[in-house]
């Protein structure tokens, strides 16, 4: 549990950092775009998820441990699907809300502050679930 | 968590996730080094993931190894951040910046040594 708290605290701090030109340049170089990513899932790897999850307009996707909205918001943008983003660090979710607004997909995106172990959703609600390096 | 995912999916719904893991067959010393070098959220076993998916009620479990890309990304984070060291250490704090750079170095070495892997797992909830 301490390890979990440390991890949450680390991500909380990371998501609270100011977004600088340098950070954006580094993210573009590593990930391939400015999408709020701080891990190892590149744009090409996010694209690979689309056929695997059979995403299309109307599909309901859950992104667990969504951070600042990567890759859930991107997948919604690319496919027209609806997405629910779940994570604990509030600064990450706040950034995701802003990203959804800027990407004009707020009407297809929802945000829930919840831990991966305690997801407060009805059974059989989603068509697809994605998570990246949260296990 | 995989059981929760299974419960939340409609029948024939799909799950896909990238995960970093320590491969099986390592010595205790190698395992400890891998656990120290990997990201803090990562302790799982790849083989265990596939088994856990099946025992959680998923079918059609597939694993796609993306370790090479993981190594490229780890090196890229380190090298790109090093080029912007001045601005990033000002924003993150000097100690935090250097700690993250050290973590990327250790992680790259562990991947090169075969102590860490990353895969995409894909599966479907039984209809």
Question: What local confidence, expressed as pLDDT, does residue B48 receive?
Answer: 84
Interface of B with A in 34-63 (CB under 8 A): 39-42, 44, 49
Q: Are A106 and A84 in contact (CB under 8 A)?
A: no
Q: What is the mean pLDDT of chain A?
A: 91
Residues 6 or more apart whose Cβ sits within 8 Å of residue A68: A15, A36, A37, A38, A92, A95, A96, A99
* Tally of CB atoms within 10 A around B66: 22
Q: Are A17 and B91 in contact (CB under 8 A)?
A: yes
CA B90 to CA B102: how far, in whole Å?
Answer: 17
* Tally of CB atoms within 10 A around B51: 12
Q: Which of A41, A45, A126 sits opposite B10 (nearest CB)?
A: A126
Residues of B in contact with A17 (CB under 8 A): 91-92
Q: What is the pLDDT of residues A15-29, one digit of tens each?
A: 877 789 999 999 999
Q: What is the pLDDT of residues B56-77, one digit of tens each?
A: 999 999 999 999 999 999 999 9
Q: Are B121 and B53 in contact (CB under 8 A)?
A: yes
Q: Which helix (H) or strand (E) holds B7?
A: helix B2-8
Q: What is the mean pLDDT of chain B?
A: 92
Q: Which helix (H) or strand (E) holds B67?
A: helix B67-83
Q: Which of A30, A40, A62 sits opposite B80 (nearest CB)?
A: A30
Q: What is the pLDDT of residues A31-74, one digit of tens each?
A: 999 988 889 999 999 999 999 999 999 999 999 999 999 999 99
Q: Are A129 and B9 in contact (CB under 8 A)?
A: yes
User: Looking at the complex, does the CB of residue B95 fall below 8 Å from at least one CB of chain A?
Assistant: no
| Residue % of chain A over a pLDDT of 90 | 76
Residue A131 bridge partners (DSSP): B17
Q: Which residue of A has its CA nearest to B80?
A: A26
Q: Are B39 and B20 in contact (CB under 8 A)?
A: yes
Asked if the Cβ–Cβ distance from A134 to B76 is below 8 Å, we say no
ipTM of the complex: 0.90
Tokens of A12: 């909380």
Q: Are A131 and A63 in contact (CB under 8 A)?
A: yes
Interface of A with B in 83-112 (CB under 8 A): none
CA B47 to CA B38: how far, in whole Å?
Answer: 17
> What's the pLDDT band for A4 if we cut at 50, 70, 90?
low
pLDDT beneath 70, residues of chain B: 40-47
Residues of A in contact with B87 (CB under 8 A): 20-22
> What's the pLDDT band for A10 if we cut at 50, 70, 90?
confident
Q: Classify burial at A57, counting beta carbons within 10 Å of its beta carbon; exposed 0-12, middle 13-18, buried 19 or more.
A: exposed
């Amino acid at each position: 549990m301490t390890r979990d708290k440390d991890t949450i605290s680390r991500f909380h701090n990371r998501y609270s950092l100011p977004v600088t030109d340098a950070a954006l340049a580094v993210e573009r170089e590593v990930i391939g775009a400015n999408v709020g990513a701080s891990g190892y899932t590149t744009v090409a790897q996010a694209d690979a998820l689309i056929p695997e999850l059979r995403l299309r307009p109307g599909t309901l996707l859950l992104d667990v441990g969504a951070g600042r909205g990567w890759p859930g918001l991107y997948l919604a943008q690319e496919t027209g699907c609806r997405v629910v983003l779940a994570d604990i660090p509030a600064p990450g979710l706040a950034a995701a809300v802003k990203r959804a607004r800027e990407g004009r997909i707020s009407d297809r995106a929802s945000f829930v502050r919840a831990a991966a172990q305690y997801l407060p959703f009805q059974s059989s609600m989603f068509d697809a679930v994605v998570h990246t390096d949260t296990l | 968590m995989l059981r929760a995912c299974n419960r939340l999916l409609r029948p024939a719904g799909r799950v896909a996730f990238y995960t970093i893991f320590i491969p099986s067959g390592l010595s205790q010393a190698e395992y400890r080094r891998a656990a120290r070098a990997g990201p803090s959220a990562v302790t799982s076993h790849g083989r265990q993931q596939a088994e856990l998916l099946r025992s959680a009620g998923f079918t059609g479990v597939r694993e796609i190894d993306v370790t090479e890309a993981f190594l490229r990304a780890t090196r890229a984070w380190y090298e790109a951040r090093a080029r912007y060291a001045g601005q990033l250490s000002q924003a993150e704090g000097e100690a935090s910046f250097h700690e993250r750079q050290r973590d990327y170095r250790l992680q790259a070495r562990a991947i090169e040594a075969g102590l860490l892997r990353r895969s995409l797992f894909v599966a479907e909830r039984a209809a």
